Chains A and B, each alone.
Chain A
Amino acid sequence: MPHDHDHDDPFHHEGMSSSGHPYRPDNDQPLTYWQQMEIAVRELLVEKGITTAAEINAQIVLMDARSPAQGAAVVARAWDDPAFKARLLADGSAAMAELGIDPDGLKLVVVENTAGVHNVVVCTLCSCYPRNLLGLPPDWYKSRAYRSRTVKEPRAVLREFGLEVPEDVRVQVHDSTADMRYLVLPRRPEGTEGWDAEALAGIVTRDCMIGVAIPQLP
């Protein structure tokens, strides 16, 4: 198999894939069977006129442009605009479209953290994720450990992420599906009164919107 764990590899990255395989950042690594398949499939699709190289590249550019900054902008707006927040909680897809972010036909449900409730998002069946707002999911979100344990012992999982939820705060776990994605609306921290949208968005990390962290003041 192509998965030789070569720790002398000068291009070895810290990051591991969900199944624990080292990431190969460069194109000069040995071709794997599955890469060979990707190239073959892509070429056949182009030859048959099903797609084009330009379409594929445009899709990748679009993907690269998606990042947690989009989700953070949505959160910052909700913090600053109660009417928008109400619309966001009522219909997440419509509200994100208002800000020019394509909901891509998916139903977005926004869940709000309050003084009494902390929300966290998982996909136990696969790895559904609000990629329009957060980009591609991190490896741990797709891991067996996160998928299995989050619905069973969320407080222990959050503790592993360094988040201790007080006992008097209820933890609500949301299990995503292929057609419905969740985004956590974190609580706006005290001490951010008068901040502009950019400053507010700056403290909203990806992990805050998955629910494994809460915004921290710099």
Chain B
Amino acid sequence: MTDDTGQGRSWHDMGGEDAGEIARGEHDFALWEKRVDALMRLTSAKGYFTVDGLRRAIEDMGEDAFETMSYYERWIASITRNLVESGAFSTEELNARMEKVAARGPTYGEAQGAGE
């Protein structure tokens, strides 16, 4: 959309654009979402990345991610990328662990294993 107009605006810079009615629905945050939020606070406080890094990776995901992923889905994707970049863990370690997590069971409750 705005990122290829040559006007120097990226998709996330949406102030002033036309848009529809404001959907007023709200939801309480799920445990996994609060954990994502907590991981951001903790790892940024420990110097692994900054809020600017969080935003940069989200902005790089593009407009499609904004339309198809929820807020904390974009966050965990960005946090993970920043943590790999800062060397907290490798992509290989992440992939192996994600497989292990999925193997524990089909629901979040089962997959979180002993992490609780």
B52 at the interface (CB under 8 A from A): yes
CB contacts under 8 Å to A, within B72-114, are 72-73, 76-77, 79-80, 83, 88-89, 93-94, 97-98, 100-102, 105-113
A6 at the interface (CB under 8 A from B): no
Q: Are B107 and A30 in contact (CB under 8 A)?
A: yes
A53 at the interface (CB under 8 A from B): yes
Q: Are A19 and B66 in contact (CB under 8 A)?
A: yes
CB contacts under 8 Å to A, within B1-60, are 12-32, 34-39, 41-43, 46, 48, 51-52, 55, 58
A171 at the interface (CB under 8 A from B): no
Q: Are A55 and B13 in contact (CB under 8 A)?
A: no
B69 at the interface (CB under 8 A from A): yes
Q: Are B14 and A147 in contact (CB under 8 A)?
A: yes
How many residue-residue contacts, CB under 8 A, span A and B?
Answer: 207
Q: Are B115 and A39 in contact (CB under 8 A)?
A: yes
Q: Are B25 and A16 in contact (CB under 8 A)?
A: yes
Please tell me the size bucket of the interface on A.
35 or more
The stretch of A73-81, A88-96, A133-141, A187-195 in contact with B is A133-141
A196 at the interface (CB under 8 A from B): no
Q: Which residues of A contact B (CB under 8 A)?
A: 1, 3, 13-21, 23-32, 34-46, 48, 50-51, 53, 55-56, 59-60, 63-64, 122, 124-127, 136, 138-140, 142-152, 157, 160-161, 175, 178
Q: Which residues of B contact A (CB under 8 A)?
A: 12-32, 34-39, 41-43, 46, 48, 51-52, 55, 58, 66-73, 76-77, 79-80, 83, 88-89, 93-94, 97-98, 100-102, 105-113, 115
